[in-house]
Amino acid sequence: MKTTSMSAPEMNASSKIILPTSEAFVTVRELKKQFDVSKPWLERTIERAPKQFLKAVDGVTFDIRKGETFALVGESGSGKSTVARMVVGLLPVSGGEVMVDGISMTATADSAAREKLRRRIQMIFQDPYASLNPRWRVSDIIAEPIKAFNLLSSPKDITDRVGELLTLVGLSPLDGVKYPHQFSGGQRQRVAIARALASDAEFIVCDEPTSALDVSVQAQILNLMRDLQDKMGLTYLFISHNLAVVRHMASTIGVMYLGRLAEVSPAKEMFRAPRHPYTRMLLDAVPDLGMTGRARTPVQGEIPSPINPPSGCTFHPRCPLVNDRCRAENPLPIAGVACHAVEEGRIGEMQSRIRA
Amino acid sequence: MTQPVLSVRNLQVEFVTRRGILRAIDGVSFDIAPGEVLGVVGESGAGKSLTGTAIIGLIDPPGRIAGGEVLLQGKRIDNLDKESLRKIRGKRIGMIFQDPLTSLNPLFKVSEQLVETIQTHSDMNGSQARQRAIDLLTEVGIPAPEKRIDGYPHEFSGGMRQRVVIALALAAEPELIIADEPTTALDVSVQAQIITLLKKLCRERGTAVMLVTHDMGVIAETADRVAVMYAGRIAEIGPVREVVQHARHPYAKGLMGAIPTLESASERLVQIPGSMPRLTAIPAGCAFNPRCGEVFARCHAERPLPIRVGQSEVACWLYDKGKEAAA
């Protein structure tokens, strides 16, 4: 009815407004997090030491389209989990902005709109032994978001919905009366997924969801997550240190190093032709099934302390292509890669060991 | 053929509990030749770490070795008394554990721990032992070992700490090293360094290694042979190429397919239904039969024994066709 009364220019205008939101569902701009790691006040005063800050996340920018999986990979201490926590709002941001479906999660202004948005964002944690309350029955755990957001009121509707969710994640509705300790690790992670879906979430942040699981169970959970994405059009922010898992799940990958994004590329591109030297090093370091008896040249060194990061490009002490500019100047991302060597064309094509 | 460094024959480990006797390891047999790396893989609870613990005689009650033999250079060590076993540990069998922070004493300097180990197993004096400790640290790739040796474990990063643990394990020039998940707590780039180091050192010294891990990628790159364990039994054992690329046991096949790899971004991972049985409820016959896609009557009735197929040994009735035809 409405469409018939709408004139042609009006329709154009409305589609123009919708377009950017369907383009990027989640927008993260210049996200920053500082932790105060100073010594106690008295000690600092006596020693005349300045305050000390740890830059856990230092200007991270990326977009996630609807129905897409964006993966953040990196070694421990690279800040990937901190990004995840800031995106869902578990940690306050020190700077930058997170927008989900056009609503700012970080600005104080639209708090009413943000409350509505909360329901649509959920998180799955790494350790399913720690993320479920051991004294609650599984049905209560899954029903909690439904009750918290007042989605259903009658107890019968809630029970039905919980049963439906349990079936959806491959458990039986009869499992609802059990306690978390009666389940194996994989089954617990299924319960955690059911809880995340209970509030009809559209955007799910998964922080290493399978790292605590055995490989055969990991395969079950990864397959389940992909099936649910296909069925319900979910958008994932997927955090992992396992590049093989990420290759299996993600459509776009961001590689983090010491709080900054070294490279953001479509998954296929990244595995076929990694551009940043750090990405190349990571890909080369992953032990792989097809690599029996392969001789490798491991990269020396470890991730430095974020309290006192190296000057310029933070990767320069480990980079084979380092020059004076890398030591002095922090590279800005150009076409998804933050590297002077790539920008100046000093880097050759990597003969990737992966057949794409 | 040279004598194997380690032979395990029909090893059985049991736990006596109120609910009866639980058999955690049931009839495990394998050999490790000098200079060979045997990978032991399996999911949590498969008994891989326990096998390592049983070999070095560190099983605490209520657990006990209920049967079988462990032979080091052809001599039984599983029936030795505590004192003689203690002399073998560290001296002839070195150990590397998963978490390098818990396997080093936080209250002692690295130098003290290394010197103590060296002096326990040799008759060097203090300064000789210290020099030996510095040489060891150089060998495992710690920069400026003369300075770092007087640091405490917390002053080292995870990768550096694991290097110290490897130096400790190598201190007495053991014939066998049991490495239990040595790289699981480390990042990939550091993991690659540690694997390369371990492999190089063992090749140079001819040390045999039993590498226990759940990471097939690590095994594929490091091991010469691999044993796949399931519910306390060996499902398949053979050369690493054979097992990784042409696994025969349905469990080993499923396990290989379940691992996401960089090589192939297949649409779906192979999925083994269910999970490993609890020790209280290991099914009769083949322990894998409730999850197996190719199960038949005999699997429920009889427990399969290892059958030679190609270069591997597989404990699965699917490969016993010759016998069935003959019977």
Mutating which of A187, A189, A215, A302 best tests the B interface, going by the most B Cβ atoms within 10 A? A215
Classify burial at A297, counting beta carbons within 10 Å of its beta carbon; exposed 0-12, middle 13-18, buried 19 or more.
exposed
Residues of A in contact with B189 (CB under 8 A): 75, 281-282, 285, 298-299, 302-303
Which pLDDT belongs to residue A21? 41
Residues of A in contact with B193 (CB under 8 A): 298-300
Which pLDDT belongs to residue B244? 87
Confidence band for A102, pLDDT divided at 50, 70 and 90: confident
Helix residue spans in A128-171 (DSSP H): 138-148, 155-168
Confidence band for A134, pLDDT divided at 50, 70 and 90: very high
Residue A74 pLDDT exceeds 90: no
The phi, psi pair for B234, rounded to 5°, reads -90, 120
| Partner residue opposite A215 with nearest CB, options B157, B214, B220 | B214
| Partner residue opposite B216 with nearest CB, options A283, A289, A299 | A289
Neighbours of A232 (CB within 10 A): 13
Residues of B in contact with A245 (CB under 8 A): 260
Contacts of residue B117, Cβ cutoff 8 Å, sequence gap at least 6: B90, B168, B171, B172
For residue B270, give the chain A residue with the closest CA.
A219
B262 contacts A354? CB cut-off 8 A: yes
For residue A318, give the chain B residue with the closest CA.
B189
Which pLDDT belongs to residue B1? 56
Sign of the CA dihedral with B74 first, then B79, B83, and B89 last = positive
A163 at B interface, C-beta within 8 A: no
Residues of B in contact with A248 (CB under 8 A): 260, 265-266, 269
The phi, psi pair for A62, rounded to 5°, reads -160, 165
**Structure-model confidence comparison of residues B54 and A307, the more confident one:** B54
Assigned token pair, A8:
């042609």
Which pLDDT belongs to residue B326? 40
Instruction: Please tell me the distance in Å from B113's CA to the nearest CA on chain A.
Output: 24
Instruction: Please tell me the distance in Å from A250's CA to the nearest CA on chain B.
Output: 10
Residue A355 pLDDT exceeds 50: no
Spatial distance between the Cα atoms of A93 and A77, rounded to a whole number of angstroms:
18
Residue A143 pLDDT exceeds 90: yes
Nearest Cα neighbor of B133 from B105, B164, B158, B94 is B164
- Residue A84: strand, helix, or coil: helix
Torsional class of A96: left (φ above 0), alpha (ψ -120 to 50), beta (otherwise): left
Which pLDDT belongs to residue B134? 92
- Residue B150: strand, helix, or coil: coil
pLDDT digits (tens, 9 = 90+) for A38-67: 888 888 888 888 888 888 898 899 999 999
- Annotate A166-210 with DSSP letters as a single string: HHHTT--GGGGGS-GGGS-HHHHHHHHHHHHHTTT-SEEEEESTT
**Locus of tokens 């599984």:** A138
- Residue A268: strand, helix, or coil: helix
| Partner residue opposite A216 with nearest CB, options B160, B190, B254 | B254
Which pLDDT belongs to residue B275? 79
A298 at B interface, C-beta within 8 A: yes
The phi, psi pair for B225, rounded to 5°, reads -125, 160
Confidence band for A206, pLDDT divided at 50, 70 and 90: very high
Which pLDDT belongs to residue A294? 54
Q: At what angle do helices A155-168 and A185-197 cross, to 10 degrees?
A: 130
B260 at A interface, C-beta within 8 A: yes
Q: Mean pLDDT score of chain A, rounded to an integer?
A: 83
Which pLDDT belongs to residue A283? 84
Give Cα separations from A81 to A90, A107, B27, B114, B250 (angstroms).
11, 21, 44, 37, 37
Confidence band for A6, pLDDT divided at 50, 70 and 90: very low
Which pLDDT belongs to residue A17? 35
Give Cα separations from A1 to A9, A291, B1 (angstroms).
17, 62, 88
- Residue A333: strand, helix, or coil: coil
- pLDDT, one tens digit for every residue, chain B (327 residues): 578 899 999 999 999 888 888 888 988 999 999 889 999 998 888 888 889 889 988 888 888 888 888 999 888 888 888 888 888 888 899 888 877 777 888 899 999 999 998 888 888 888 999 999 999 898 888 888 888 889 898 888 878 888 899 888 888 888 999 998 888 777 777 788 888 888 888 888 888 999 998 888 888 888 899 999 998 899 999 999 889 888 899 999 888 888 887 766 666 788 888 778 888 888 888 999 888 888 888 888 888 988 888 889 999 998 886 554 443
Which pLDDT belongs to residue B265? 60
| Partner residue opposite A247 with nearest CB, options B190, B196, B265 | B265
A186 at B interface, C-beta within 8 A: yes
Which pLDDT belongs to residue A5? 41
* The most confident of A156-160, A335-339, B81-85, by mean pLDDT: A156-160
Contacts of residue A15, Cβ cutoff 8 Å, sequence gap at least 6: none
Which pLDDT belongs to residue A236? 95
- Residue B85: strand, helix, or coil: helix
The phi, psi pair for A212, rounded to 5°, reads -90, 5
Say if CB A82 and CB A256 are below 8 A apart.
no
B 194-253 near A (Cβ less than 8 A): 195-196, 214-218, 220-222, 240-241, 244-245
Nearest Cα neighbor of A314 from A348, A276, A352, A283 is A276
pTM for this prediction: 0.80
Q: Reading across the β-sheet that carries B312-314, which strands appear in turn? A: B93-96, B176-180, B208-212, B37-41, B225-230, B233-239, B312-314, B307-309
pLDDT digits (tens, 9 = 90+) for A161-204: 999 999 999 898 988 999 998 888 888 999 999 999 999 999 99
**What are the E-state strand segments in A203-309?**
203-207, 235-240, 252-257, 260-266
Instruction: Please tell me the distance in Å from B324's CA to the nearest CA on chain A.
Output: 32
| Partner residue opposite B189 with nearest CB, options A217, A248, A285 | A285
pLDDT digits (tens, 9 = 90+) for A261-277: 999 999 888 888 888 98
Contacts of residue A17, Cβ cutoff 8 Å, sequence gap at least 6: none
- Residue A295: strand, helix, or coil: coil
B189 contacts A282? CB cut-off 8 A: yes
A298 contacts B192? CB cut-off 8 A: yes
Which pLDDT belongs to residue A299? 64
| Partner residue opposite A248 with nearest CB, options B193, B195, B269 | B269
CA count, 13 A, side-chain hemisphere, B22: 18
Nearest Cα neighbor of B45 from A341, A159, A186, A45 is A186
A54 at B interface, C-beta within 8 A: no
